[in-house]
Every structure is written in structure tokens, then in C-alpha cells.
Amino acid sequence: MPRPTHALAYPLLSLTLVGGLTLAGTARGLTTPGEGPVSRPAAVAAPGSPQFTKTLVDDLTGEGLEVTRGYPRLWTMDDCKDGYPVTFNCYGNNPASPYVVSAVKPWPEEYVDPATADAYGRTRPGYSTTYRLDPREAIVLFGTMPPRGEYMSLQSYVFTHEWVIEEGDATYPFGYPWVRDAAQGGRDRFAHSPMVGYLFSTLPRNPDRVQSFSSVSNSINNVVMDGGPSGKSFGELRYFVITPDQAMEDKVRAALGDLGVPQEHVFTEPIPSGFAGRPLGPLGLEKEALDFMHGFRYAMPEDEQAAEAWRAKLPLTVLRVREAPSSDRAAAPYGDIARDPREAVDEAYLKTDLAKLTAAVTARASRGPWALSPLPATFMGERPTMGNVESWLGHFGPRCRTLGENCLGDGQDASYFFLTPQPIDDGQVYAVLGTLGTQTGNATYNGLSVNDASLLKGVANVPDHDADSPDTDLEGSAAGYATTVANHDKLFVHFLARDCAALEGLTDGACTTITDTMVPPMTDVSAPGDPHLHGFFTAGLRSYVKQGSARGPITVYGPDETGKVTYQSGQLPPVVLAFTSGADDDPIR
């Protein structure tokens, strides 16, 4: 078994920063509404000290801005119990990738949808993890970054939106944004799939709001922060400005600069007018406006104990800053933002080796009591590959908003291959086989996740490497087939079953037991979630950040000589094999 993942599973911020020394600075005059210049003492609070936040807030309000303070909180697997009744969806959270969300105070005139309360776990009274955006505001997040790991990032999302137009509205001749008829077409496409309710849905308590959870810009990850894969930002002070207003960005950056913060340590995530050529939608504090959230993700730490200490403290500060409503300054919106390009090392040269590994695993199983069981088509009619969600489901923020599709927290930093829900209660044994991006150059880290299909909740993760449990790593898991499979070091095989203890002869220990606690049995009528999907799991393979790049790898599909859409280049889709036992007394039954 891999190491327990509940300590890591926080899917997408302490109120004070860690203490610090003072930094000598130059006094400057400030203007407070209704007052004359205010003199600053010569000693200015150092970035990272508790006094720093107070001084920053004083400076911002002294410039005529309104400021409120929020707080960071973890979004954990346990929060699914509170969030699922709100959304009927746990969004396939990554069990290896902690999430931190920000709880903020609404502005006095801001509409707060009661139907979204506790969507990302319970908040303190008077706070919310989702929010409308004033066109002249910024959310500022800063503090000490987590200890060194494989990945960290900040990204904002549209959480919900309203239906804006019907098909044929001449204002939007291309059918966007959010055409109701287009969404119905998407639902019809997946009508046969048990995933349809997760992919196309409104809020259970407010059917006028479409669940979107869709990206609005390119993420700010550790490679972006560092300008390369140095990892120098881990453990350091960094500052993030999330805003739709270029003038507000300038004001916040100026205030930080006046307090001694280097501009290269400040990163802006613009909330643009459009992303990748498609309009974002209406900003504002009204009921009809977009509802946003943002998440900070941190994965695969080098020192798990240090990472847990950081999560327990969360040395991050959340501020909400806006132009006073009495100000007549016009907003300075960003225009359309282009999508960052993505690329991949072509893994086509491993296609034959993966086929040989598939045959070898099948042959080994056939020498025992296990027979190959056909899986339903999982991707464009191909059997038995896992589907790439961006190509298969079109999971990319602008496209999801076009269709009214739930993007499930999409991002540009990883590829996602997904298995449609499969039963696990009748002795089934599954083998997932694929390429290791860490070995081919297509990933900084890989993770194979197990999800409870009835909640779409990540419940376990198998990493590419784990110093505490090396026998169950993805790396090296195909070594037992070295005599028949070339490039076995670039491939993996991992088994999933209700009881791995009975499968040693088949799995070489590379197996994850899916307990009843992870995925409730079909007969458990008291378990939360969709009762029709009790006893079903899904699996996902994530490849984060192609080596030498700031973004995740891609898979290219296209028509073959017969016109069938199939794999062309990039990452090879993983293969899934299902086995059942023919022996009535076999222990896996």
C-alpha cells in the first residue's frame, strides 16, 4: 500500500505571518481621507513580520482604498461531507495535492448566494470562499511559501454563472457565452455516462446558477515564479495580486514596493475580459454577476513533516482591497489573455512496448484464476484506454463556459487521463498500465489517483516515487516484465482491488486496496453520495509540468486513414485491464 494520503489530501490560507526583523526604510508622506499628510517612522516593518500587514493596510487605506481581511483555510477530503450537499460534487480532488482556499468578507452591497455556503468547507460566520468581484478591486495573498516540493501554484476560477443568452442571440453570433442549447447538446453527448451529472449541473439549491469551476487565466506555478525549475521560491516570501483592474494592480504593487518588497516577488493573476479569445462574463457585486474562487495547490513535498507544519500554521495573509464606492475612477480592465502554449515529448516510440506490457500482464493473469473481462469503451470507442479529459471532455475554462459545462477545476499545468466509473464489489481486479512522464520527460511528478465515483472524491494516490514505501511506487513497477518488455523503466503497472493481500502472485506488490471506507459497497444504503454509484470507483493519471516547461504535457488526437479519431502524438493514453476470477472459492471474491 502507498503511504496514507489523508494527510496530503487538501483537492484546492493562520491569520498572522511569521515574525521577522525590522528593515530600515525612508519615511514618506501619506494622505488619509479628510486629513493631511501622515509621517511614517524611519523604521518600516519587514516583509514577513506581523507589523508588515498592519502597515500595508494603513498605507492602502491612507490612499483612499477600502481594505478587509480574510483568512486562509485548507480544503481537505473531509470537507467533502459539507461541500457535497451544496454541489453534489467533490470535483475529483487530487488526493496528493493540498489545496488552500481563501475565505473573504463580502463587501456591504455584495450579493452572497446562500446556495454556495460551505461549498469548500465550513467558514467562520461572515466569510465566504466564493465571491463576486468589484471591477475595481484586488484580492491580495502573501506570506511564506511552503517547504520545497515538486509543485505549487495559484489559480482563480469562475465557480458559478447564470445562463446569459439563448441560442441565436445576435449579440453573440458564435454562440457564447453559456448558451443553454449548447449545454443541452453536451449533456446529450454524455447522456449514457454516469458522469453526466458531474459534468453538467446547476447548484442544487439554486438552479439558476450553472456550476462551472473553470479557469480564467494561466496559473502562477513555481516554474513561473522562478522563471525556470530552480525551486527558489519554496520557503520564501511571495505576494499575489488577483484583480480585474490594471490600476488596482499598480496601486497594490506600489504599496508593496514602498514597504521594501521586490517587484520580482509580486505576481499578478489578471482576471481578464476574455481568455483564449472567448469573453469571460459580467463582473460586479450583483446577483447576476460571476461568482469566483481561487485555490493554492501544493504537492509532493520533499519533507512531509515540514509540509505538515506549514499546513498547520498556514503563514499566509488574505486581504481584499477596492476603490472606495465614492470614487469616480473608471476601471482599467485587462483585455483578452492568450492561453500559454503546451507541448510534449512524443511517446509514440513506446506504443509497442506498452502493448507488450499489456500482453504480458494479461498472460500472467491467465496463468492464475483470473480471466480478462471486457471494459466498455472509455474514449472515442477505443478499448481499453483512459481518456484525456481535455481532448475527451473539452475541459478547458473558456470552452466549459461556452457549453455551461463543469470544468471540475481545470488547469494548464497537468494532463489528466480519466477512467469512467467501474464496479469493484464482485471480485474485479483492475490493472492500470501506462508511461511514466517522470522518465519520458513529460512530467515533474506523476500520480495515479483512486476516486469514489459516488462523490467524485479523490481517496488515494499512488506517487511516481515514495521513499517511505518504494515497493508500491509507479517507478520500477514494470521491472518484473523486463525480459519481455523493452523500456520497462519508462512504463508502470499498478493494480486496484478490494483485497490486494490475495493478489501477491499477480501484482508483485504494486497494488492498492480500495477499502469500503474509500469506496462504499453497493449494499451500503447509508453512505453519502449518489446511491447508483456506490461500489464504483474511478481512476485518474496526472502528469504535472513537462520538464523544461511551465505547463503540463499534451496528447494530440486526429483521424487515421479510415477517418477514426485516434492517438497521434504526445503522451500515450494509459491502458486499463479488468480481470475477474472464475474460481468460486477464490479469496478475491
| C-alpha count within 13 angstroms, C-beta hemisphere, residue 75 | 31
**Which residues neighbour 377 within 8 Å (Cβ) at sequence distance 6 or greater?**
383
Out of 291, 311, 337, pick the residue that ends a domain.
Answer: 337
Shared-domain flag, residues 144 and 289: yes
What is residue 186's predicted lDDT score, i.e. its pLDDT?
A: 63
What is residue 191's predicted lDDT score, i.e. its pLDDT?
A: 62
Per the domain annotation, does 482 fall within a domain? yes
Shared-domain flag, residues 264 and 371: no
What is residue 192's predicted lDDT score, i.e. its pLDDT?
A: 67
Per the domain annotation, does 7 fall within a domain? no
Looking at the structure of the chain, the number of domains it has is 2
| Regions of the chain where pLDDT drops below 70 | 1-44, 163-192, 376-384, 467-471, 582-589
pLDDT digits (tens, 9 = 90+) for 187-219: 666 666 778 889 888 899 998 899 999 999 999
Per the domain annotation, does 3 fall within a domain? no
Shared-domain flag, residues 474 and 562: yes
Shared-domain flag, residues 67 and 141: yes
Per the domain annotation, does 588 fall within a domain? no
Shared-domain flag, residues 314 and 408: no
The domain in which residue 434 lies consists of 348-581
Out of 291, 312, 337, pick the residue that ends a domain.
Answer: 337
Contact 183, 239 (CB under 8 A): no
Shared-domain flag, residues 355 and 328: no
What is residue 188's predicted lDDT score, i.e. its pLDDT?
A: 67
Residue 283 has phi, psi (to 5 degrees) of: -90, 165
Shared-domain flag, residues 256 and 382: no
What is residue 439's predicted lDDT score, i.e. its pLDDT?
A: 98
Per the domain annotation, does 355 fall within a domain? yes
Per the domain annotation, does 405 fall within a domain? yes
Per the domain annotation, does 419 fall within a domain? yes
Q: Residue 41 and residue 26: Cα distance in Å, rounded? A: 8
What is residue 385's predicted lDDT score, i.e. its pLDDT?
A: 76
Shared-domain flag, residues 497 and 552: yes
Shared-domain flag, residues 446 and 298: no
Q: Which of 404, 157, 111, 399 is nearest to 279 (CA)?
A: 399
Per the domain annotation, does 381 fall within a domain? yes
Between helix 246-258 and helix 50-62 the angle, nearest 10°, is 130
Distances, alpha carbon 553 to alpha carbons 115, 225, 401, 548, 570, in Å: 36, 19, 23, 11, 7
Shared-domain flag, residues 454 and 324: no
Residue with cell 461541500: 83
Residues forming beta bridges with residue 457, ordered by sequence position: 452
Shared-domain flag, residues 325 and 356: no
Contact 75, 65 (CB under 8 A): no
Could you tell me the sign of the dihedral formed by the alpha carbons of 6, 7, 13, 15, in that order? positive
Shared-domain flag, residues 362 and 494: yes
Q: Which of 294, 295, 241 is nearest to 263 (CA)?
A: 241
